[in-house]
């Protein structure tokens, strides 16, 4: 992403909309625009990101962007005309939404009127495209607005009604919303001078309101005064109630009354979900939640990464996950109650998933040491799990020239995949899901047998790849590359179907939420096997910790996250979906990553051509005999690279898809086997290792043969 602008939060007035500031609703606004607006709107809005006392603005477009008023290129006039045409189209869309059958149409119309408003935009251009900074009041209308005849030629035929086609389009300004007071984020101490405001009011035709004349005091007749005095004497017969003698009592009474009112108002404001009606709960959820579940509201900001002192892993410092263990029907109530307890704008539910009853809370970073304790103490009615948002990364490989000196198919020989092909090369009914950073689906070895592609990050089927995200292409080739096409390589299971699930967008890191969403998508879409060549990233200090202390960390740290993964993978197993996970490349005990602690996933360590543990591979540390571990080749592995090319890479990322392909072959010959039975078959047919901490080496031919003959 290209950062092209920043502004201090106190330099302009931020527009408030609903229960939040408008700019904080970027993700679901952009999602709505993507679904409902033409292509020229798709990258129009810049993406805001709060960073302390400033807002940074990003765009996926390349080039140097300048304010339109500062741009000196020849295309300045065309860019201004294009901007005016876009705002005209936005206005027409708002009218359509207001008059449509969708009950949310008016809400969206009002939202878009604020987004696409001359006064609420700063226009930037690189000479060929424009990008809008939005969500604040900038008062740019006089600078940007053009008469309609200046941009009429840019409108599509469908943008102009029949009467407008017969006559020239006359200027149709976007209706001005009723005035309201806009809250200010960190307002400047110096007040705005009154004179310019009054001048603007006069320019807008607003008359200056005359102050009301003070009412004259009308003296009452003396007889009335006497009567009032007598009544007052009777009322004050007791000195105890005489305010002249008991002012302190009245002061205390007034204070207590105000305290009572404040308490009642607080109680009214913090009505919890169980005390709300169904309609009240629905309305409250609309106020506090992102527009769509599973939509993250901010990108992965590497400046927020910290090394957690307890787990020694990288986490995002201002996010925490909360999951409901039981009674998921109460998940809506949990979300409402969290926002009732933490009502401030600094506390936002930025992500939620109703399927597994999990949410993500953004909080002030200075609260990091206290937030988990506060959530537990303030929500005693719920049984919840709470853990940090971990940073995941593909088990990235080394691409030094020395890795290109071995035979290209050595790993096929050592696991006997060619003998297994005498039984099966895989069946297209078996879907293998690869969750990774991206895929070159046009690659000659991957373009066939693709099914149910999906991009978790942008929530559509657009899959990308390139130099910055080539890892997934290499992993997919190991498991699934087409055989017998006189080109390149052959995957372990070349006959199975390939389900590409992209969980990254060119960044080096993944958010854990994207990994979880990818798993859920694969399960819901009918995957039979899931490959996860990725894992949590640990600090360099973790390598210096003695193995015994790491074993203690595995037993004592990350227990809430461990419980969540166990719960998730139990659900996956119940759907008879097999999960293969790369062990990791930091020469650490497997299990330091809480995702690896479930016995329902098969962890894969890497060996070299000498059948010894690869120097980088994580290891089992005394648990090698367990059936949920296995080894596979992971050094000098030749596979696909974007652009119809190939390369050698190494890592447990390369070992995992060898096992994933083997599971695909096993399911092809016997799809009724349970996950537990498949693990037993793989381990009972594997070659035991003499290397401490290294699981047995997979033998695919024997495993496939046993699976075919297995009596259920």
Whether residue 701 contacts residue 419, with contact meaning beta carbons closer than 8 Å, is answered with: yes
Task: State yes or no: is 436 an active-site residue.
Answer: yes
Whether residue 438 contacts residue 472, with contact meaning beta carbons closer than 8 Å, is answered with: yes
Query: What distance in Å separates the CA atoms of residue 127 and residue 477, rounded to the nearest whole number?
Result: 41
Whether residue 455 contacts residue 624, with contact meaning beta carbons closer than 8 Å, is answered with: no
Burial degree of 355 (CB within 10 A; 0-12, 13-18, 19+) = middle
Candidate list 436, 440, 517, 650, residue with the active-site label: 436
460-499 burial string, b = 16+ CB within 10 Å, else e? eeebbbeeebbbbbbbbbbbbbbbeeeebbbbbbbbbbbb
Task: State yes or no: is 459 an active-site residue.
Answer: no
Place of tokens 């006392």: 53
Supply the DSSP symbol for 110. Answer: H
Query: What distance in Å separates the CA atoms of residue 690 and residue 576, rounded to the nearest whole number?
Result: 33
Query: What distance in Å separates the CA atoms of residue 481 and residue 473, rounded to the nearest whole number?
Result: 10
Task: State yes or no: is 70 an active-site residue.
Answer: no
Identify the three-state secondary structure at position 47: strand
Candidate list 395, 471, 668, 689, residue with the active-site label: 471
Candidate list 653, 668, 689, 701, residue with the active-site label: 653
Sign for the pseudo-dihedral over CA of 377, 378, 384, 390: negative
Structure-block tokens of residue 654: 């390369």
- Which residues, 6 or more positions from 56, have their beta carbon under 8 angstroms from its beta carbon? 3, 5, 6, 48, 49
Burial degree of 623 (CB within 10 A; 0-12, 13-18, 19+) = middle
Residues belonging to the active site: 436, 471, 653
């Amino acid at each position: 992403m290209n950062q092209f602008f920043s502004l201090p939060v106190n330099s302009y007035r931020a527009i408030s909309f609903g229960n939040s500031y408008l700019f904080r609703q970027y993700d679901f606004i952009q999602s709505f625009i993507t679904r409902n607006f033409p292509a020229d709107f798709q990258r129009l809005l810049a993406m805001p990101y709060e960073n302390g006392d400033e807002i940074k603005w990003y765009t996926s477009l390349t080039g140097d962007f300048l304010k339109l008023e500062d741009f000196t290129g020849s295309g300045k006039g065309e860019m201004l005309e294009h901007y005016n045409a876009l705002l005209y189209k936005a206005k027409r869309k708002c009218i359509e939404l207001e008059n449509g059958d969708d009950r949310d149409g008016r809400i969206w119309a009002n939202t878009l009127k604020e987004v696409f408003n001359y006064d609420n935009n700063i226009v930037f251009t690189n000479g060929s495209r424009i990008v809008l900074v939005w969500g604040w009041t900038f008062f740019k209308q006089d600078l940007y607005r053009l008469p309609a005849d200046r941009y009429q030629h840019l409108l599509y035929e469908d943008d102009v009604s029949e009467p407008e086609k017969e006559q020239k389009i006359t200027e149709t300004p976007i209706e001005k919303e009723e005035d309201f007071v806009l809250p200010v984020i960190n307002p400047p101490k110096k007040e705005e001078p009154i004179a310019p405001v009054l001048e603007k009011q006069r320019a807008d035709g607003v008359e200056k309101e005359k102050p009301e004349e003070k009412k004259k005091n009308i003296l009452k007749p003396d007889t009335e005064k006497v009567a009032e005095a007598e009544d007052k004497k009777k009322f004050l017969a007791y000195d105890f109630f005489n305010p002249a003698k008991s002012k302190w009592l009245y002061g205390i009474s007034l204070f207590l009354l105000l305290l009572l009112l404040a308490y009642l108002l607080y109680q009214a404001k913090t009505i919890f979900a169980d005390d709300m009606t169904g309609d009240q709960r629905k309305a409250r959820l609309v106020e506090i939640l992102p527009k769509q579940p599973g939509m993250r509201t901010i990108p992965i900001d590497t400046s927020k990464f910290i090394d957690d002192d307890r787990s020694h892993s990288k986490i995002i410092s201002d996010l925490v996950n909360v999951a409901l263990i039981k009674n998921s029907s109460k998940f809506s109530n949990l979300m409402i109650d969290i926002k009732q307890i933490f009502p401030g704008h600094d506390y936002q539910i930025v992500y939620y998933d109703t399927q597994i009853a999990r949410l993500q809370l953004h909080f002030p970073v200075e609260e990091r040491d206290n937030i988990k304790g506060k959530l537990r103490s303030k929500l005693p009615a719920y049984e919840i799990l709470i853990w940090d948002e971990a940073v995941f990364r593909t088990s990235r490989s080394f691409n030094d020239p020395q890795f290109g000196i071995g035979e290209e198919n050595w790993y096929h020989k050592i696991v006997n995949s060619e003998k297994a092909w005498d039984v099966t090369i895989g069946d297209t009914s078996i879907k293998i899901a690869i969750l990774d950073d991206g895929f070159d689906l046009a690659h000659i070895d991957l373009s066939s047998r693709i099914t149910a592609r999906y991009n978790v990050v942008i929530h559509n089927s657009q899959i990308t790849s390139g130099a910055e995200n080539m890892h997934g292409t290499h992993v997919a080739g190991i498991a699934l590359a087409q055989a017998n096409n006189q080109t390149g390589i052959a995957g372990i299971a070349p006959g199975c179907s390939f389900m590409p699930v992209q969980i990254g967008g060119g960044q080096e890191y993944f958010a854990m939420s994207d990994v979880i969403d990818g798993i859920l998508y694969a399960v819901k879409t009918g995957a039979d096997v899931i490959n996860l060549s990725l894992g949590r990233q640990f600090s360099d200090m973790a390598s210096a910790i003695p193995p015994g202390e790491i074993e203690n960390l595995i037993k004592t740290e990350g227990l809430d996250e461990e419980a969540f993964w166990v719960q998730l993978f139990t659900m996956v197993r119940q759907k008879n979906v097999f999960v293969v996970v790369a062990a990791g490349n930091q020469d650490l005990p497997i299990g330091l990553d809480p995702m690896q602690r479930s016995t329902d996933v098969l962890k894969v360590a890497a060996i070299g051509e000498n059948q010894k543990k690869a120097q980088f591979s994580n290891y089992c540390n005394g648990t090698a005999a367990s059936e949920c571990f296995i080894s596979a080749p992971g050094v000098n592995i030749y596979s696909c690279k974007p652009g119809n090319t190939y390369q050698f890479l190494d890592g447990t990322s390369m070992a995992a898809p060898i096992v994933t392909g083997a599971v695909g072959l096993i399911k092809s010959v016997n799809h009724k086997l349970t996950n537990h039975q498949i693990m037993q078959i793989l381990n009972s047919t594997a070659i035991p290792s003499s290397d401490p901490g290294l699981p047995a080496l997979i033998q695919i031919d024997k495993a496939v043969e046993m699976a075919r003959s297995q009596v259920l």
